[in-house]
Amino acid sequence: MYKKLILTALFFVFLGWQAFPCTSYLVTPGASADGSSMISYAADSHIRYGELYFFEGGPKPPGSYFQVYYRGNHKPLARVPLPESTYQVVGYINEKQVAIGESTFGGHRELFDTTGMIDYTSLMQLALMKAPTARDAIRIIGELADEYGYYSLGESFSIADPNEVWIMEIIGKGTNMQYNRRTREHYNADKGAVWVAKRIPDGYISAHANHARIMTFPLANGTTSITNQQMDKLHEPGISTIYAHDVIDFARRKEYYEGPDADFSFSDVYAPIDFGAARFCEARVWSMFKEVAPDMDQYMDYAMGFDLTNRMPLYVKPERKLSLEDLIKFKRDYLQGTDFDISQDIGAGPWGKPYRWRPLTWELDGKTYFHERTTATQQTGFSFITQSRKDYPDPIGGIIWFGVDDTNLTVYVPMYAGIRRAPDTFREGYGNILEYKEDAAFWVFNKVAHLVYLRYSLKMPDVRKVQEELESSFHNFVPAIDKAALELYQQNPELAKDFLTNFSVSMGNYTVERWEELFRFLLVKYLDGNIKKEENGEFLTNQYGKYPIVEHPNYPEWWLRTIIELTGDQFLYRENEQE
């Protein structure tokens, strides 16, 4: 038992923290300012391209199937037959306003099923194609994993619809090959997955960031908790927990757990907490919770890996209702305002850069050290915040606020669930991670980000100005668009979808154009380490109108003192000294 925990911990340190960085927030309707369900997601990956996926809904020809590829390396897996008709999916929200996000938590390494034929991303996409509610999405994910075998490590899913928000955590059963003498075939006797799903109580919020967070849960009683063998009760209002019937029995068989059923903790058993899980993962959850919930200081030592016994709750009740703008702010968190703010230590350099290049950990003189892992990170491919709003028809009520690249430097653009296509600059296949395309959203945002990384504190005010200009305008537009679309929908639903498409596509393409303008402005203003003076975007010139007025910003004093401490008198100016 002890040996297994050590092996799992080592797996996390040397593989998990490098490969699975995503941060997700969950807000129930009763905890949101406008009564919407909201979830967020960030596809943090060093190989992921930022693009807006679009799956057309409606009737499917006989023989249609969904080709599964493993998200980690594009290995082809199963071909899953599609039903006669599917729901349209924009990014990760479908036309019924069901939305799904995720973060990978790894867990016991030996539970990766090498014979599995469906991965976590395909589970999300197929569930969105089929599920009219969040509860149906949970059922579909569990069924697909059992049918095809789960080819992934542990996952936490955020699942929302207009009425409720759930967190579902799932992990495979590993590979246990047996031989069937009758069929003369080998098969995996442990095919499938174990999982638990809990509904976040209305009025509460939750979050997850690459570590399993569901601990104990009520056992099946038919009124509040059911197993996957009792799915006839799935839509009964009181049901708040659903789990795989063998989630505890399997842990006993694997010798992960020996205690009573009532004390079983999914997180502690399938993904034991350690320093890395706390500091790199739970710290991101804590940093969001502390902004809106009382008494979160008591969990700081846990989040920073100093006290692993005082675990944070799965969900908290915020002191105020949260808005879309709040979630956008949280997505841009780098532990600012805490003792662990990464823009304030030596690694930030003279210009306060809140980013650390990978690897996350390194060894020196026989000791292992690390950089902080924060929500805002340079390797994000894309991110989003979804709103599922029960007071509107589904094509209008569902919005995915979508951005590409670094969450701190992106712009979240509203894409309605009812749109007929993605903007060209954002659409899937418009450029890729190995093909630069000058007007693709991903590459335009990366151009700006890389300019900013060079001298962060100097350039960010210019970025924030345009970022706020765009996002504020979108937030002001949406109520008017909602109203106009609703009036059209009541007369002609198809015309309303055309209207929403035109708005979302126009805003997406305009955002890319405006960000390209920002790139050109930054390049001119900060060329060669100088700063050209400007007013309202217009560069100032000398009295003859020919040359720019140039400033040379000083390095901060602490940086200059650091140079002196490291070099002594090497750079001391010796005036009038004779050789």
- Which pLDDT does position 2 carry in this prediction? 35
- Which pLDDT does position 578 carry in this prediction? 57
Residue 395: closest CA among 464, 324, 498:
498
Whether 13 is covered by a domain: the verdict is yes
Whether 61 is covered by a domain: the verdict is yes
Helix (H, G, I), strand (E, B) or coil at 503: helix
- Which pLDDT does position 575 carry in this prediction? 82
Helix (H, G, I), strand (E, B) or coil at 66: strand
Task: Note whether 359 and 472 are same-domain residues.
Answer: no
End-to-end CA distance of the chain: 72
Task: Note whether 47 and 137 are same-domain residues.
Answer: yes
Task: Note whether 321 and 234 are same-domain residues.
Answer: yes
**What is the β-pairing status of strands 58-59 and 85-86?**
antiparallel
* Number of domains within the chain: 2
Q: Alpha-carbon distance 554 to 546, whole Å?
A: 25
- Domain span including residue 203: 2-370
Question: What is the number of other CB atoms lying within 10 angstroms of the CB of residue 224?
Answer: 15
For residue range 189-218, what is the model confidence (pLDDT) as tens digits? 999 999 999 999 999 999 999 999 999 999
Q: Alpha-carbon distance 250 to 108, whole Å?
A: 13
Whether 411 is covered by a domain: the verdict is no
Whether 277 is covered by a domain: the verdict is yes
Q: Alpha-carbon distance 159 to 317, whole Å?
A: 19
- Which pLDDT does position 21 carry in this prediction? 64
Please tell me what DSSP assigns to residue 29: G
Domain termination site, one of 333, 352, 370: 370
Angle formed at CA 128 by CA 430 and CA 61, multiple of 5 degrees: 80
Residue 215: closest CA among 247, 238, 175, 186:
247
Whether 460 is covered by a domain: the verdict is yes
Dump the DSSP string for 215-269: ---PPP-SSSEEETT-GGGTT-TT--EEE-TTHHHHHHHTTS--S-GGG--HHHH
Structural contact between residues 90 and 54, judged by C-beta atoms closer than 8 angstroms = yes
Task: Note whether 345 and 458 are same-domain residues.
Answer: no
Handedness of CA 225, 230, 232, 234 (dihedral sign): positive
Task: Note whether 189 and 338 are same-domain residues.
Answer: yes
Domain termination site, one of 319, 338, 370: 370
Task: Note whether 226 and 348 are same-domain residues.
Answer: yes
Tell me the residue type at 407: T
- Which pLDDT does position 576 carry in this prediction? 72
Q: Alpha-carbon distance 50 to 258, whole Å?
A: 44
Handedness of CA 132, 133, 137, 139 (dihedral sign): negative
Task: Note whether 363 and 465 are same-domain residues.
Answer: no
**What is the β-pairing status of strands 37-44 and 380-388?**
antiparallel
Chain centroid offset of residue 92 CA = 11
* Alpha helix positions (H), 455-492: 456-491
Q: Alpha-carbon distance 179 to 442, whole Å?
A: 48
Tokens (6 digits) for 347: 């690694």
> Would you write out the chain's pLDDT as a tens digit for each of its 579 residues?
333 333 333 333 334 344 456 999 999 999 999 999 999 999 999 999 999 999 999 999 999 999 999 999 999 999 999 999 999 999 999 999 999 999 999 899 999 999 999 999 999 999 999 999 999 999 999 999 999 999 999 999 999 999 999 999 999 999 999 988 888 889 899 999 999 999 999 999 999 999 999 999 999 999 999 999 999 999 999 999 999 999 999 999 999 999 999 999 999 999 999 999 999 999 999 999 999 999 999 999 999 999 999 999 999 999 999 999 999 999 999 999 999 999 999 999 999 999 999 999 999 999 999 999 999 999 999 999 999 999 999 999 999 999 999 999 999 999 999 999 999 999 999 999 999 999 999 999 999 999 999 999 999 999 999 999 999 999 999 999 999 999 999 999 999 999 999 999 999 999 999 999 999 999 999 999 999 999 999 999 999 999 999 999 999 999 999 999 999 999 999 887 654
Tell me the residue type at 56: E
Phi, psi of 415 (to 5 degrees): -120, 115
| Tally of residues, the chain | 579
Whether 396 is covered by a domain: the verdict is no
Whether 565 is covered by a domain: the verdict is no
- Which pLDDT does position 566 carry in this prediction? 95
Q: Alpha-carbon distance 79 to 172, whole Å?
A: 20
Task: Note whether 348 and 452 are same-domain residues.
Answer: no
Domain termination site, one of 353, 370, 387: 370
- Which pLDDT does position 369 carry in this prediction? 96
Phi, psi of 248 (to 5 degrees): -90, -45
Task: Note whether 355 and 468 are same-domain residues.
Answer: no
- Which pLDDT does position 572 carry in this prediction? 96
Three-class HEC string of 507-545:
HHHHHHHHHHHHHHHHHHHCHHHCEECEECCEECECCCC
- Which pLDDT does position 577 carry in this prediction? 61
Whether 19 is covered by a domain: the verdict is yes
Q: Alpha-carbon distance 135 to 118, whole Å?
A: 20
Q: Alpha-carbon distance 45 to 51, whole Å?
A: 13
Task: Note whether 462 and 361 are same-domain residues.
Answer: no
Angle formed at CA 42 by CA 168 and CA 459, multiple of 5 degrees: 155
- Which pLDDT does position 20 carry in this prediction? 56
